[in-house]
């Protein structure tokens, strides 16, 4: 069958093109003959890269590089692989021959003997061994001993609490004060109130350093267990040892202007007399930790106190100059003088003593804790307002107005309340208001107490409110007669403000008094006046006597120096006796009592008035010697009088 097709399989013509003629014909390099290909394979043989072979290769490449231009290069390359192979084989053959010769000679043992190699004998002496072992062991022992020493120290520290290590002191210091380390290794602390909101310019930085031992245990040996990196210049005293009690291994250096002890003294002076005094001091407040932590705590506390007092005084002085008061405030040196009331002055002074005397200055009498605390609180309030701003709701509202102002819009606040919100008081104004109020309160108390002591007949009882504000107090005064409390009690409330008093009586009358004590005294006397008459009216009703008339403001007789006279006219149950009472304020309470009999004893019919019945019109009033009547009080005497004048005859 000749259906099959002859297929010829040929390799592609992969011969290299040697030349391309100008007419496009290509001249191929003839494919390598079998011998050429064998030579190429032989050239690839790698005789385990002996140095000889490498050298030869290098030579070959060098030679090839040199003779690159020549045409004879091709020929030499084709011969070269065989040459290389031949040489390699020749060398290998030579070496094998030599080896076989050597082995045969060695086997003969006549000219060449093969002996095993002997090892080196160890020629060190035992003593050297001992020395090396000893050194090694002593080094190990050293390590162990130092470790044991450290453990022993730690144990002894735990047992003995008096040992003060610098680091423990530093830890205590850090627990109470703000410290930080600066670049040159020193430790700087801050005792100012900046973080609490103060804007005072004086810096309150202090430095912490190691205490140098005065009684030196002199070992400045290079015990390199110097604890921590501090200023490299400080002496490294043996801190591992136990320090002498009383001194600490830590020292603080405060700036010169904050050294010493300072306090602010507040005095109220009346014409060169001291009325009351206050000291402002931060000492004695807060937990006392000086006992456990040593001298530096006290130093720092004093320094902080000095800073606080300076800030307070600077603020007060600034306000004293800026404020305009009717009588201007005077600032001289470290004293501020302000006038509270005529003849009464408030003196605020900053006392700063730089010498460390342990005894406090002589305690000034009448130490006023209130003013002291107030000044402290006022400055703290300023600090607080500086650091706490009310958050605006919504968050896009401006930051600044107080919460009240922010809700003033939606709650339709009127103009007066908006105006109130804008008013602020400086520290000096506030402390002056408080001092004025304290003074007014003392004066009012004095007036009431002296009146209560002097006037015995109706008793004046005053109840002061326990809860007050720094600028207002209230007192309730009850005027009662002992034994007759049920008949009547006159009460009034007095609001004591900064420069005035406001009196509210039971009947609703409101009276405003000034700071003069005499006005209050007069008012109370007038109230006593009206009290007596009103109680008498109730008493008379009780005794079945008829009150014919009474008046609180009698306008007859001589003009009274104080207030108005009050009077009362009573008639007995039988209408046969009449009593007339007049009370005046002279300024002592002056009581006049008159009685009259109804059918006159001295009636004689005259031609003008002939009838007998005219005797019932009542006779003259005769004065009673009221001070001689038995009785403890006015009402008591009146009761006896009325009782004695009541007769049973119909």
Partner 1 sequence: MGVTVLQPYPMPEGKSGAYIIDHLGKRLLSLGATHAGQFLVDCETFISTPQHGTPTRAVHVLHNSECPASTFSIIDNGTGKQVALVADNIFDLLMLKMTNTFTSKKQTKIESRGARFEYGDFVIKLGSVTMMEHFKGVLVEIEYKPCITLSYCWEMIREMLQGFLSINVGKEYPSYFTTQTIMNAMGQQQLHKQNDIYEPMDTIKQYLEQFTNYRKHVQMHSAMGGTVGPVMMNTVVGMGRP
In the complex with partner 1, which residue's Cβ is closer, 119 or 414? Answer: 414
Residue 240 gets which letter from DSSP?
Answer: S
Angle (nearest 5°) at CA 219 between 217 and 221:
165
As measured in angstroms, the least distance from the Cβ of 406 to partner 1 is: 8
As measured in angstroms, the least distance from the Cβ of 403 to partner 1 is: 14
For 157, other C-beta atoms within 10 Å of its C-beta total: 16
As measured in angstroms, the least distance from the Cβ of 502 to partner 1 is: 18
As measured in angstroms, the least distance from the Cβ of 422 to partner 1 is: 12
In the complex with partner 1, which residue's Cβ is closer, 180 or 393? Answer: 393
Q: Are strands 510-513 and 589-597 parallel, antiparallel or unpaired?
A: unpaired
As measured in angstroms, the least distance from the Cβ of 405 to partner 1 is: 8
Integer Cα distance of 571 and 548 in angstroms: 7
* Tokens at 235, concatenated: 């002496």
For 254, other C-beta atoms within 10 Å of its C-beta total: 22
Q: 617 with 609: CB under 8 angstroms?
A: no
H/E stretch holding 552 reads strand 546-554
Integer Cα distance of 267 and 49 in angstroms: 111
In the complex with partner 1, which residue's Cβ is closer, 384 or 391? Answer: 391
Residue 17 gets which letter from DSSP?
Answer: E
Q: What is each CA distance from 76 to 44, 65, 247, in whole angstroms? A: 16, 13, 100
As measured in angstroms, the least distance from the Cβ of 411 to partner 1 is: 7
As measured in angstroms, the least distance from the Cβ of 412 to partner 1 is: 4
In the complex with partner 1, which residue's Cβ is closer, 408 or 451? Answer: 408
In the complex with partner 1, which residue's Cβ is closer, 7 or 419? Answer: 419
In the complex with partner 1, which residue's Cβ is closer, 417 or 514? Answer: 417
Interacting residues of 593 by C-beta distance below 8 A, sequence separation 6+: 579, 580, 581, 582, 623, 624, 626, 638, 641
Q: How many residues does the chain have?
A: 650
Given the rule CB under 8 A, which residues bind partner 1? 405, 408-415, 418
Residue in the block written with tokens 């072992």:
133
As measured in angstroms, the least distance from the Cβ of 408 to partner 1 is: 5
As measured in angstroms, the least distance from the Cβ of 510 to partner 1 is: 15
* Tokens at 547, concatenated: 């009150």
Q: What is each CA distance from 566 to 369, 385, 491, 527, 552, in whole angstroms? A: 46, 57, 18, 11, 4
List, in sequence order, every residue forming a beta bridge with 234; answer none if it has no partner: none
For 237, other C-beta atoms within 10 Å of its C-beta total: 21
For 529, other C-beta atoms within 10 Å of its C-beta total: 25
In the complex with partner 1, which residue's Cβ is closer, 109 or 415? Answer: 415
In the complex with partner 1, which residue's Cβ is closer, 393 or 482? Answer: 393
Residue 196 gets which letter from DSSP?
Answer: G
In the complex with partner 1, which residue's Cβ is closer, 392 or 517? Answer: 392
Question: In angstroms, how far is CA 112 from the centroid of its own chain?
Answer: 103
Residue 355 gets which letter from DSSP?
Answer: S
As measured in angstroms, the least distance from the Cβ of 415 to partner 1 is: 6
As measured in angstroms, the least distance from the Cβ of 417 to partner 1 is: 9
H/E stretch holding 379 reads helix 369-387
H/E stretch holding 445 reads helix 427-454
In the complex with partner 1, which residue's Cβ is closer, 44 or 415? Answer: 415
In the complex with partner 1, which residue's Cβ is closer, 393 or 553? Answer: 393
């Amino acid at each position: 069958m000749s259906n099959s097709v002859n297929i010829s399989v040929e390799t592609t013509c992969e011969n290299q093109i040697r030349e391309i003629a100008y007419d496009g014909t290509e001249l191929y390099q003839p494919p390598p003959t079998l011998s050429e290909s064998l030579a190429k394979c032989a050239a690839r043989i790698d005789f385990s890269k002996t140095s000889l072979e490498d050298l030869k290769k290098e030579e070959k490449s060098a030679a090839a590089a040199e003779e690159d231009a020549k045409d004879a290069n091709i020929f030499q390359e084709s011969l070269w692989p065989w040459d290389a192979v031949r040489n390699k084989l020749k060398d290998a053959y030579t070496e094998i021959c030599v080896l076989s010769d050597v082995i045969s000679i060695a086997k003969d043992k006549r000219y060449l003997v093969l002996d095993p190699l002997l090892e080196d004998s160890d020629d060190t002496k035992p003593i050297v061994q001992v020395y090396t072992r000893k050194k090694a062991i002593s080094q190990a022992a050293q390590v162990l001993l130092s470790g044991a020493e450290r453990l022993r120290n730690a144990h002894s520290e735990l047992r003995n609490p008096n040992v003060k290590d610098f680091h423990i002191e530093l830890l205590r210091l850090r627990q109470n004060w703000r410290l930080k380390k600066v670049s040159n290794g020193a430790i700087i602390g801050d005792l100012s109130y900046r973080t609490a909101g103060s804007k005072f310019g004086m810096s309150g930085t202090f430095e912490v350093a190691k205490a140098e031992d005065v009684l030196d245990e002199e070992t400045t040996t290079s015990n390199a267990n110097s604890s921590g990196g501090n200023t490299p210049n400080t002496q490294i005293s043996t801190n591992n040892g136990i320090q002498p009690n009383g001194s600490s291994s830590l020292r603080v250096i405060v700036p010169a202007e904050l050294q010493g002890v300072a306090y602010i003294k507040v005095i109220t002076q009346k014409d060169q007399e001291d009325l009351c005094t206050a000291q402002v001091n931060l000492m004695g407040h807060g937990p006392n930790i000086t006992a456990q932590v040593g001298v530096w705590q006290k130093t720092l506390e004093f320094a902080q106190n000095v800073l606080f007092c300076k800030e307070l005084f600077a603020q007060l002085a600034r306000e004293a100059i800026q404020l305009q008061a009717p009588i201007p405030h005077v600032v001289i040196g470290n004293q501020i003088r302000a006038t509270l009331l005529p003849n009464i002055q408030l003196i605020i002074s900053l006392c700063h003593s730089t010498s460390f005397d342990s005894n406090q200055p002589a305690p000034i009498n009448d130490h006023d804790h209130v003013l002291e605390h107030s000044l402290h609180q006022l400055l703290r309030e300023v600090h607080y307002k500086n650091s706490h701003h009310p958050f605006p709701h919504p968050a896009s509202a401006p930051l600044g107005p107080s919460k009240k102002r922010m809700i003033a819009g939606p709650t339709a606040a009127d103009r007066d309340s908006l105006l109130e919100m804008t008013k602020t008081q400086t520290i000096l104004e506030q402390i002056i208001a408080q001092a004025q109020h304290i003074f007014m309160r003392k004066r009012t108390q004095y007036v009431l107490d002296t009146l209560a002591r002097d006037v015995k007949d109706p008793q004046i009882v005053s109840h002061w409110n326990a809860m007050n504000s720094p600028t207002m107090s209230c007192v309730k005064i009850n005027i009662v007669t002992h034994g007759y409390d049920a008949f009547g009690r006159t009460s009034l409330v007095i609001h004591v403000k900064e420069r005035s008093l406001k009196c509210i009586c039971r009947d609703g009358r409101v009276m405003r008094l000034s700071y003069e004590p005499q006005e209050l005294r007069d008012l109370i006397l007038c109230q006593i006046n009206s009290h007596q008459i009103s109680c008498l009216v109730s008493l008379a009703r009780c005794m079945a006597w008829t009150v014919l008339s009474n008046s609180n403001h009698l306008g007859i007789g001589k003009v009274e120096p104080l207030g108005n006279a009050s009077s009362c006219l009573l008639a007995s149950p039988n209408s046969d006796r009449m009593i007339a009472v007049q009370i005046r304020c002279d300024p002592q309470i002056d009581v006049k009592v008159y009685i009259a009999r109804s059918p006159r004893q001295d009636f004689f019919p005259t031609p003008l008035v002939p009838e007998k019945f005219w005797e019932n019109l009542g006779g003259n009033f005769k004065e009673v010697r009221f001070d001689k009547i038995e009785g403890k009080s006015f009402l008591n005497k009146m009761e006896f009088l009325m009782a004695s004048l009541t007769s049973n005859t119909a």
